[in-house]
């Protein structure tokens, strides 16, 4: 007897083919073709297992899935899943802990360099036929080498980013609930600091934390005002960590030097968003975790968890959410 795995996000046929090639025996795979709860309720109704990447999964959708045993996040952040309803319905929830740490860390580095050096601005202008040299840039550009970098959220992604920074000779400050042991700090070349210390001292601040009640709206008007006027903010975490209207004001007023964002309060980002009007902001459409050569690793971890449930076994503790 076969069971059904449904990918709730709309995905390409190439991705479908690659997923089916990795699918454990006894499972069949279907997938979404549109967005919105009505479509999600339709495709989840007959599934035993559901996978969600960026699509939001509401309680209403989960209540339309009487056969569902496991809701699996394709990634790490589970703020787009209604965990309370899943818990109430007895639906297990899992994620692929650590699977996207290196891709997101690399992307964070890319966003950092793009914002510091006006790479995105120069690219966009040259594609329009405008040769923008140093005298025509919207702001000064700076090197990453030797700067103080504050990493807010120092789990697998934050630590992978710290490792990438070693070659740049940066001073690395980090913030997390519980400081690491001294030996681990020394190995990473990082030092624990409070949020106020990071805001005041860092030249670059990266957000690599989950969206939780503690981190929601963490970077607001007051936080931005506490940063250096030459500081760069990079958000590859979740949109809700930053108050976007406050960031727009700070970038327009040059309260901070620049920013780069891969995630937003509303996704897809509306075409009339004021974020798209700023020449000192780099924007990308939630791409940080996407890397073709990390696909098999992540999917095998995810399918391994689904196979555990199919065999009547528990999900490994590190990946279990609910």
- Residues that are catalytic: 238, 267, 286
CB neighbour list of residue 148: distance below 8 Å, 6 or more residues apart: 170, 171, 172, 173, 201, 202, 203, 204
Tokens standing for 244? 């976007």
Say how far apart CA 47 and CA 98 lie, in whole Å: 26
Say how far apart CA 305 and CA 303 lie, in whole Å: 5
Tokens standing for 218? 């963490």
Strands (E), 22-175: 27-32, 49-52, 70-73, 92-94, 148-152, 171-175
Say how far apart CA 106 and CA 38 lie, in whole Å: 36
Tokens standing for 99? 């699977």
Say how far apart CA 244 and CA 66 lie, in whole Å: 38
């Amino acid at each position: 007897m076969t069971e059904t795995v449904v990918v709730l996000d709309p995905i390409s046929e190439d991705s479908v083919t690659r997923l089916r090639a990795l699918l454990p025996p006894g499972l069949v795979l279907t997938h979404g073709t549109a967005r919105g709860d009505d479509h999600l309720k339709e495709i989840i109704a007959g599934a035993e297992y559901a996978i969600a990447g960026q699509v939001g999964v509401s309680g209403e959708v989960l209540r339309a899935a009487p056969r569902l045993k496991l809701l699996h996040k394709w990634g790490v952040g589970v703020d787009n899943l209604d965990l309370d309803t899943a818990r109430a319905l007895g639906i297990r929830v899992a994620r692929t802990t650590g699977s996207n740490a290196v891709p997101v860390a690399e992307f964070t580095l890319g966003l950092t360099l793009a914002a510091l050096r006006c790479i995105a601005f120069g690219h966009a202008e040259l594609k329009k036929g405008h040769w923008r040299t140093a005298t025509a840039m919207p702001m000064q550009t700076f090197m990453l080498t030797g700067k103080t970098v504050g990493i807010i959220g120092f789990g697998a992604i934050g630590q992978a980013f710290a490792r990438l920074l070693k070659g740049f000779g940066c001073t690395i400050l980090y913030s997390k609930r519980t400081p690491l042991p001294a030996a681990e700090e020394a190995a990473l070349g990082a030092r624990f600091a409070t949020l106020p210390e990071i805001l005041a001292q860092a030249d670059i601040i990266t957000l690599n934390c989950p969206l939780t009640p503690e981190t929601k709206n963490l970077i607001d008007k007051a936080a931005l005002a506490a940063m250096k006027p030459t500081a760069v903010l990079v958000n590859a975490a979740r949109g809700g960590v930053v108050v976007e209207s406050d960031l727009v004001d700070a970038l327009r007023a040059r309260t901070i030097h620049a920013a780069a964002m891969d995630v937003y309060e509303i996704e897809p980002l509306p075409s009339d968003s004021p974020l798209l009007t700023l020449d000192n902001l780099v924007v990308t459409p939630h791409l940080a975790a996407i890397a073709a050569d990390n696909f098999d690793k992540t999917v095998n971890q995810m399918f391994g968890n689904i196979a555990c449930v199919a065999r009547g076994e528990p999900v490994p503790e590190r990946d279990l959410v609910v």
